[in-house]
Amino acid sequence: MRRAALLLLPAAVLLAGADKPIAYRLPPEPQLRLPPGAEAELAARACAACHSLDYILHQPPNMGRAFWHAEVAKMRDAYGAQIDDADAQRIAAYLAGDAK
């Protein structure tokens, strides 16, 4: 009996305040920017259409050309990113550090 009462206690506490809306403030979105470069705006626009720039900025550093070409290809082929061939090449080169 005592065990059943202990199990029901959290539910009773939750239901007691169910008629009151819960208000909270979300933290502000970080204002992230890609490193400067000729294709930074293109990369930010194309990539942020689907995910945060934080996702890009937290990739391991110095991954190189093959890695970034494969990542951009994956975003296009597997996830349907709407990036044409020329822009895909420019974005991958920028992310690899090849485009200044």
Q: Give tens-digit pLDDT for 57-67.
A: 999 988 999 99
Residue with tokens 């720039």: 53
Please report the pLDDT score of residue 16 as a whole number: 60
Q: Mean pLDDT across the stretch 34-61?
A: 92
The full set of domain ranges for the chain reads 30-96
CA 34 – CA 26 distance, rounded (Å): 24
CA 33 – CA 85 distance, rounded (Å): 24
Residue 9 pLDDT exceeds 80 = no
Decide which of 3.90.170.10, 2.40.10.10, 3.40.30.10, 1.10.760.10 is the CATH code for 30-96: 1.10.760.10
